Structure 1
Amino acid sequence: MNITKLVWAYIAERPSIRDCMKKGLVNHSELARQICEHHKMDKFDACLIACRRYAEKEAPKIDNENSIRDLMKTSKLRVRNKIMVAIIEKPRDMESVLVFEKNIRKKRGDINIIEGEDVVTVITNETYSDEVKEYFKSRVIRVTKGLAQVNMVFDERIESTSGVVSHVYSLLSEYGINILEEMSCWTDLMLIIDEKDLAKSVNCLSQTS
């Protein structure tokens, strides 16, 4: 039995403990006892050493988290409501999708396309719901309305700062907000959420930006 792997897995599977470990807020002795009780083993000393090693391993990441927070403070937030997401069966030729995108842009509509292996995700204004269904016809797998788009615009430091996206996911998760779609383009991060969560999202992200 590898005690270190067992202890590190226990901590890694529990984000609340993991976060507190990074910040030095955990009593290692109490955590070691908890892990021993959980696995019904008498290996307190080995668990304690493994807990301390985990804390030492995570310590350098605090500097990175500070960098992320600094980056968040200078980010800009832009939101759009009344957004819809359509999941389309991917055509052999993507040209038809690009033509649709061009038509929406001619009407000054908002549209983003995410190309997957088997499907294409079309993110646009609810106004164009009927046009999506008419244009793609039987290729439409699902249409979801009542969504909102949150755009976070960072500066160029995001290229050299790891963990920004996971940090944003973690923040929204704490508020019970589910991210339905996500895409990025250099310094921009775009998130699609349920419109009912828009106010909470703005509040959450504004506190750190």
Structure 2
Amino acid sequence: MAEKSVAKIVWDYISLHPSIHDCLIYNLINHSALTRKIMGETGIKKKEAVLAACKRYPKGKEKVREKGILNILQNSKLEIRNKIGVIIIPNSWHLFPKLEVATHKLIREGKELKIIQGSLGITIIATEELIHTLRGMLGKENILSERKGLAEISVTSPRTIEETPGIIAYLSSALAANGINIVETVSCYTDTIFILEEKDILEGFEVLNKCMQIKYP
């Protein structure tokens, strides 16, 4: 196996393991221990080549990227809404007319809802009251799944978020590291929206608020 191929395998391994990647960027990891771990999991036998690849892993762009993320978050704001519900209906053409009539009526009334179309289902996020109304308009028999007792945290950022990679991953990782489950995630223009269980909303708000106060060294 050529050294160049070893380097590519090592760099791919690091980039696909976020915890290792972050520790390496900040020089918080033992290169020898990392070398042994990578060799054990990839089957590479050339210790010196793996060690050299770990030491040469590019770090400059990542630090610039994190600086951009933190700058955007410092200029973002948080909003919370409770009593949120989610329903999922089949992604089936015969339901589209009902969905069109329902959404048209509700939007004309000034109601707010979020609709995400997937390959097998259509997810609708709205207030619990609105979810109840939609269930009646779409038909109970067409509801694949329904959840209540949820809350929404919306992060509204400057327009530069559109050109800055990693913000959703950064915030999601912070929530996950604190044991907070994300029920749904929606990204729309400058808004990044997390749907959480209501019991997690205060802790989730605190975690995201702390993320927005971190200053790049």
TM-score tier, shorter chain, comes to: 0.7 to 0.9
Q: 1:136 aligns with which of 135, 138, 154?
A: 138
5+ unaligned residues in a row in structure 1: which ranges? none
Quote the Cα distance in structure 2 between the aligned partners of 1:152 and 1:135.
Answer: 31
The aligned counterpart of 2:182 is 179
User: Are the aligned partners of 1:109 and 1:125 in contact in 2 as well (CA < 8 Å)?
Assistant: no
The aligned counterpart of 2:98 is 96
Describe the shift of the 1:113–1:33 C-alpha distance in structure 2 as closer, same or farther (beyond 3 A). Answer: closer
Quote the Cα distance in structure 2 between the aligned partners of 1:130 and 1:39.
Answer: 51
The aligned counterpart of 2:163 is 160
Amino acid at match of 2:78: L
- Match status 1:192 vs 2:195: yes
Amino acid at match of 1:192: I
Amino acid at match of 2:142: R
Amino acid at match of 1:115: Q
Task: Give the 3-state SS of the residue equivalent to 2:211 in structure 1.
Answer: coil
User: Are the aligned partners of 1:79 and 1:149 in contact in 2 as well (CA < 8 Å)?
Assistant: yes
Amino acid at match of 1:96: K
Amino acid at match of 2:122: V
Q: How many residues align?
A: 207
Quote the Cα distance in structure 2 between the aligned partners of 1:30 and 1:46.
Answer: 14
After superposition, where does 1:1-209 map in structure 2 within 5 Å? 1=1, 2-36=5-39, 43-54=46-57, 57-92=58-93, 94-105=96-107, 108-137=110-139, 138-209=141-212
Quote the Cα distance in structure 2 between the aligned partners of 1:47 and 1:35.
Answer: 8
Quote the Cα distance in structure 1 between the aligned partners of 2:76 and 2:120.
Answer: 34
User: Are the aligned partners of 2:6 and 2:44 in contact in 1 as well (CA < 8 Å)?
Assistant: no
Quote the Cα distance in structure 1 between the aligned partners of 2:190 and 2:184.
Answer: 17
User: Are the aligned partners of 2:171 and 2:211 in contact in 1 as well (CA < 8 Å)?
Assistant: no
TM-score for the superposition, normalised by structure 2: 0.84
Identical aligned residues as a percent: 33
Quote the Cα distance in structure 2 between the aligned partners of 1:110 and 1:84.
Answer: 12
User: Are the aligned partners of 2:156 and 2:192 in contact in 1 as well (CA < 8 Å)?
Assistant: yes
- TM-superposed CA distance for 1:176, in Å, is 1.7
Amino acid at match of 2:32: S
Amino acid at match of 1:60: K
5+ unaligned residues in a row in structure 2: which ranges? 213-217
Quote the Cα distance in structure 1 between the aligned partners of 2:16 and 2:158.
Answer: 32
RMSD: 2.3
- TM-superposed CA distance for 1:184, in Å, is 2.0
Q: Deviations over 1:7-34 (max 9, x none)?
A: 3344344322111111222232332244
Describe the shift of the 1:3–1:33 C-alpha distance in structure 2 as closer, same or farther (beyond 3 A). Answer: same
User: Are the aligned partners of 2:88 and 2:145 in contact in 1 as well (CA < 8 Å)?
Assistant: yes
Task: Give the 3-state SS of the residue equivalent to 2:170 in structure 1.
Answer: helix
Quote the Cα distance in structure 1 between the aligned partners of 2:44 and 2:168.
Answer: 38
Task: Give the 3-state SS of the residue equivalent to 2:144 in structure 1.
Answer: strand
Describe the shift of the 1:62–1:82 C-alpha distance in structure 2 as closer, same or farther (beyond 3 A). Answer: same
Quote the Cα distance in structure 1 between the aligned partners of 2:37 and 2:198.
Answer: 40
